[in-house]
Amino acid sequence: MTNDISAKLIDTIEIGNMLGEGVQWHVASNTLWWTDIQKACLYRYELTTKGIEQYAMPERVGCFSFIENDHRLLVAFASGFALYDISNDKLKWLAQPELSIKGNRFNDGRTDRQGRFWAGTMVEERNQDNQSAALYYLDKAKHCHKALAGIEISNGLCWSPDGLTMYHADSPKKIIHKYDFDPATGVPSNKQIFAKTLNESFPDGACVDSSGYLWSAHWGGAKVVRYTPEGKHDFEIKVPTKQPSCVALGGKNLDLLFVTSAQQDLTTVQLNKDSLAGHLFIYQLSGVKGIVESQVHW
C-alpha cells in the first residue's frame, strides 16, 4: 500500500445532482465541468470564485469532451454523438448508432490520447432478452465505429499515460478490464481482468494519474479506490455519500480530486440518512498529480 499519499476533503459543492457524472477539469479556463444526466444539465464551476453556471441541454448528456480550436463541445447525448454550441444551442448530429434499440442510452466516455472521442452505451430499460450495449468511438473523419459489444453498462473508460493500455468497466459485472491499445488504429485487444469490486461496490467513473495509477469511483460502496498499474488495491478514500459516480484530477497543480455523486435510486428514508447524496466533493491530494484531459483533435 502507498504510504506517501494522502487525501483531505476541502470543499463540498452542494448541488444535489440526481446523477452527477462525466466530471473533468478544463485546464485552459481553470474550470470544472460535469453533467447531471437525469436532469439534462451541464455545469461549469469556477474554483476561485466558487461560481456555478448551469446549462440546460436539449437531451440527457452521458459524457462530453472539449475540442481543440473549437468552442463547441462534442457530446454523447442519450441518443448519440453530436456537436453542440452552448452559446446558441445549435446542435449537429454526427452519429446515432443505437437509435433503434429502445431502452439503451449513451453513458460514460472520454477522449483518448490521440484525440478520438469514445462513449459507451448502457441498457437502461430491457425490452428484449438479448439486448446489450456497446462502446463506440469517432475517428478523425467523424465516422463512428463500434469497438466493444456485449456490455450492460459501459463505464470507467480511461487510458494509461502512454496511451498503450485502455481501461473499461462493465458496472453490473463488478469488473474493470484492461486492453492493449493500438494508438494508430484505436483498436483494443488482449482483454484481461484488471480488478474486481466486492460486495455492493460497482465500478463507475475512473481516471488515471501521472504515475499510471487508476482512480475508480465505487458506486454503492461510498469510496474511491486507487489501483496500481497491475490492478492491486493501493489507496482508498471514504466518500461521505453512498453513490460516488465519477472522478477527475485537476486544479491549478493537478493535485485536486473531484468526485461527483448521485441521489438516483435512493428512497426518501435513505436520502434522509444520506444528506450529502448528489453533491460534488473536492479533495486535496498530496503525492499525486493528474494528467491534462485530452481534447478532441480532428
Catalytic residue of the set 204, 209, 265, 274: 204
Looking at the DSSP bridge assignments, the partners of residue 283 are 9, 257
Cell triple for 209: 494519474
Cell triple for 298: 480532428
Q: Specify whether the CB–CB gap between 157 and 118 falls below 8 A.
A: yes
Q: Is the dihedral of CA 233, 234, 237, 238 positive or negative?
A: positive
Neighbours of 130 (CB within 10 A): 6
* Alpha carbon distances (Å) from 275 to 10, 14, 81, 170, 202: 18, 10, 34, 28, 21
| Tally of residues, the chain | 298
Active site residue 11: no
Q: Specify whether the CB–CB gap between 210 and 162 falls below 8 A.
A: no
Residues acting as catalytic residues: 204
